[in-house]
Structure 1
Amino acid sequence: MNHPFRSRGLVAASSLAVLLALGACGERNDGQTVGQKIDEAIANTAETAKDVKQGAQQAAGDVKQGAQEAAADAKTAGQKIENKTEELSADAKSATQEAASKTKEATAEARTSVMGAAGAAKEKTQAAGERVGAKVDDAQITTSVKSGLAADKNLSATQIDVDTRDGVVTLKGTAPSAAAKSRANEIARNVKDVKSVNNQLTVRAG
């Protein structure tokens, strides 16, 4: 711990040394007294202190301005990052929505295609069934017509060809008489599901 008296002694000794040095200089100077030298030294010291203070203030101002500029740059960079993040998020959302829309469209198209194929298959099946049914009906008509002709006493011994297509019965061959030909036409016409009769029977000359 330093004592106040010792510090004061040191200051006094330093001042005395300065005065002696200035006195020595005064002996070599051209007319300046010790007091003038002291005043000049004090003025120089004050000027130097003033310069140091101004330099410190300028440095502090520069540091403050640099800190403000750095903070502004950091804020700008943060804003750019935030904007870019928002853009990327918007792009990702848009891409997701577009993918969902395309998936929905593809699903709808696939569904329409499947339904169309199913409808076409159903129509073909129905058409095939109708054709099969028509052939069965034609066969039944032919069988019924032949049975009717065989049961008739005037036509039983006559060779008559019976062909049925889509409900239309065609009779070919010979009939013993015009009446027998007409009778064959009537028998065929009375069979169920017969639409019309194409009677091509020829009457055998007598």
Structure 2
Amino acid sequence: MMTPATKRISLLSAVALAAALTACSKKEDDMTAGQRLDGAVAEAKQAAAETRQDAKEAMAGAEATAERAAADASQATSDVGITAKVNAALVADDKLKATQINVDTREGMVTLTGKAPDSQSRERATTLASAVDGVKHVNNQLVVSAS
């Protein structure tokens, strides 16, 4: 598939060749060979300007895509760090360390699932998770286990 730049270069070459052939022809017309050459040069300059603009637009699009990818990667790294810190805080708590609590983080939103030994521990899990830097919200889905 030809890119717009490749198409313009091909067009530019064809125009220059046609201008050269026309300039060399024996046919008499209203334009001199110099005028025809000047016209071909002007068309070539226009094609080059359009090619530069297309390249600038393509580069801007590539830069925007790269910035989005970098932001997505940064967010994923941040979410992994938040999950690790919340897990560490839960394990450090005497009542919660013996429980199986799953921590899932997406865009700074932490979801806690699993079991808590009592309602105070369930609320403590929310408090601990909320205290971690980068946490925007905690969705506590812990179920209080029956003793």
The residue type equivalent to 1:174 in the other structure is K
* 1:129 corresponds to: 70
CA distance in 2, matches of 1:91, 1:192: 76
Cα root mean square deviation, aligned? 1.5
* 1:104 corresponds to: 45
* 2:91 corresponds to: 150
CA distance in 2, matches of 1:198, 1:92: 79
CA distance in 2, matches of 1:196, 1:184: 13
CA distance in 2, matches of 1:201, 1:95: 82
Superposed displacement of residue 105, structure 1: 1.4
* 2:10 corresponds to: none
Residue 120, structure 1, aligned to residue 84, structure 2? no
TM-score, with length taken from structure 1: 0.55
Q: Deviations over 1:138-157 (max 9, x none)?
A: 00000000000000111110
Superposed displacement of residue 93, structure 1: 3.3
* 1:159 corresponds to: 100
SS at match of 1:191: coil
CA distance in 1, matches of 2:35, 2:130: 74
* 1:187 corresponds to: 128
Q: Deviations over 1:122-171 (max 9, x none)?
A: 11111111111111000000000000000011111010000111111110
- Structure 1 segments unaligned to the other structure (5+ residues): 1-86
Q: Deviations over 1:86-113 (max 9, x none)?
A: x768432332232122111111111111
Q: Which has the larger radius of gyration?
A: 1
CA distance in 2, matches of 1:104, 1:179: 76
TM-score, with length taken from structure 2: 0.76
CA distance in 1, matches of 2:139, 2:51: 51
Q: Which has the higher contact order (CA 8 A, sep 6+)?
A: 2
Tell me the matched-pair count: 120
CA distance in 1, matches of 2:54, 2:134: 39
- Structure 2 segments unaligned to the other structure (5+ residues): 1-27
